[in-house]
Amino acid sequence: MKASGRHKCLLCGEFYQPDRRNLCHQRHCAKPECRKRSMKDRVEP
């Protein structure tokens, strides 16, 4: 069994399966807490 397709959330440390679309950008799981943090990291002009 390969562990490919699983990514470790940088925020909570749990493994999650990112969407194919956001595979390159997504670094967190789908938890509300992590999603909030991810938005905070975003730098908008």
Question: Using CB under 5 A as the criterion, which residues of the chain lie in contact with Zn ion when the complex forms?
Answer: 9, 11-12, 28-29, 31, 34
Whole-number minimum distance, CB 13 to Zn ion, in Å?
Answer: 7
- Of the pair 39, 45, the CB lying nearest Zn ion is at 39
Read off φ and ψ for residue 27, nearest 5 degrees.
-130, 10
Question: Up-side HSE of residue 38: CA atoms within 13 Å toward CB?
Answer: 16
Residue closer to Zn ion by CB (options 11, 26) is 11
Please say which residue, 2 or 8, places its beta carbon nearer to Zn ion. 8
What lies within 8 Å, CB to CB, of 27 at 6+ separation is 7, 9, 10, 11, 38
